[in-house]
Amino acid sequence: MFGSVLIANRGEIALRVARTCRELGIRVVAVCSSADRGSAVTRLADETVHIGPPPAQRSYLNMPAILEAALRTNAEAIHPGYGFLSEDADFSDACDRYGLTFVGPPPDVLERIGDKAATRALMAAAGLPILPGSEGVVGFVGDAGEVADDIGYPVMLKAAAGGGGRGMAVVRHPADLRKAYADTRAQAQAVFGDDRIYLERFVERPRHVEVQVLCDSYGEVIHLGERDCSVQRRHQKLVEETPGPALSPELTTRLREAAIHGARAAGLVGAATVEFLVDEDATFAFTEINGRIQVEHPVTEMVTGLDIVREQLSLAAGLPLRLAKGDVQRSGVALECRVNTEDPDRAFVPTPGMLEEFVVPGGPFVRVDTHGFPGWEVTPHYDPLLAKVVVWGTNRDEAVRRMDRALDEFRVRGPQVCTNIPFLRTVLAHPRFRNARHTTSLVEEMLGSHRPSDPHGRRLVGL
């Protein structure tokens, strides 16, 4: 195992990784931008290195600064968390060249799975079901039109280098294709520096189900079960749970087997997820692979009792899997809600500012992963995720009720700060969610059809 690890991230995931390192006796090196001086992880770390001003491109995406920090502090490995550099093949390669261990897949694997169109073709060759679509990227709008005419509308345009729900557009009519094609290419270039896009059939009301896998350097792969991530707004997840509700045992078995097969085909090493769309008729299709830890990993930890960050570190150190398939025991149901500093009454605009009051919920089987504390300044420079509330229950109904209770206890107050907690409670109370009949369209349909009240009867104005 490593003696020291630099955490190339910020916020709750940096604190999450630091805590596991401390438990394992690993020396923690944190990095911070000017906006994050005095953050929770810097207080916990053994050493902190300032890497630049607030903009991410000049700090948390500044590869030379992070590599220099690791070398100067004698770190042996770099844990990238999620986002930022966690899926950057060039960064993984740079770590190798400087004798540092990247906690994640090797560069060639990251490059392979980072190209969504190429990964789609790889999974198809490996026998996983995929949605009808283009064979690789579509370089001209005319080519996209031919594919769309062949498979039928609606279709979805996707950035080949995309991820995180960005670089995607649904096209329902041929007349809209040209503009959507140009807009998606422009967005892909702006966000990912790569304007290549591909096309596949759009599924109207699917479930989004992902399978957590662990893979060692010796070709062994196990799964830790599936997670349902269907509660989304603009392709950004809001509520996740495990096990996937209302999925038949036969379907979950097939999903898990497909995930293991896909992970082997991709050559993954470490913790990863293989993601699928499940249609109303219980057929499923591969969508993408993420070769990093996911925001929603705590729900899997709650039902398995495993520390996925610990497993990541062990696998990155070159150790074989500590667990066999039969060793993983799952119990109960776990839910996670993402608490963001955003205002539902104003189209979910981010609301940075000082946290004057910050009291997290507690009680049996409640976990809160957060970097917030009274006096902390929520910055506008990064994503608005403030906390993840995670609960466990013996069954789904108990877990949902426990989550609602926990969210009701959460107190966040600041002069400008708002959170999405009332909206999350509205989602939890929705009959389709309660009855596990929700799909990825639930939130958008809620926002488009009516202005829901929160559980206390207040109107959520502006939804």
Q: What are the residues whose beta carbons fall under 8 Å from the beta carbon of 211, sequence distance 6 or more? A: 223, 225, 226, 227, 255, 256, 258, 259, 273, 274, 275, 276
Quick check: 169 and 156 in contact, CB under 8 A?
yes
Quick check: 156 and 134 in contact, CB under 8 A?
no
CA-to-CA distance for 136 and 142, rounded, in angstroms?
A: 15
Task: At 400, list the tokens.
Answer: 């949902």
CA-to-CA distance for 136 and 245, rounded, in angstroms?
A: 33
Q: For tokens 């060639």, what's the residue?
A: 108
87-105 as b/e, with b when 16 or more CB fall inside 10 Å? bbbebbbbbeeeebbbbbb
Q: What single string gives the DSSP state of each residue in 75-91?
A: -SEEE--SSTTTT-HHH
Residue 459 annotated among the catalytic residues of the structure? no
For residue 51, give the amino acid letter.
I
Number of H helices, E strands in the chain: 15, 22
Task: At 463, list the tokens.
Answer: 């939804």
- CA torsion 161-165-169-170 (nearest 10°) is 130
The catalytic residue among 233, 292, 338, 402 is: 292
CA-to-CA distance for 293 and 283, rounded, in angstroms?
A: 26
User: Exposed, middle or buried by CB within 10 Å (0-12, 13-18, 19+), for 421?
Assistant: buried
Q: What are the residues whose beta carbons fall under 8 Å from the beta carbon of 115, sequence distance 6 or more? A: 160, 161
Quick check: 213 and 269 in contact, CB under 8 A?
no
User: Exposed, middle or buried by CB within 10 Å (0-12, 13-18, 19+), for 175?
Assistant: exposed
Catalytic residue list = 292
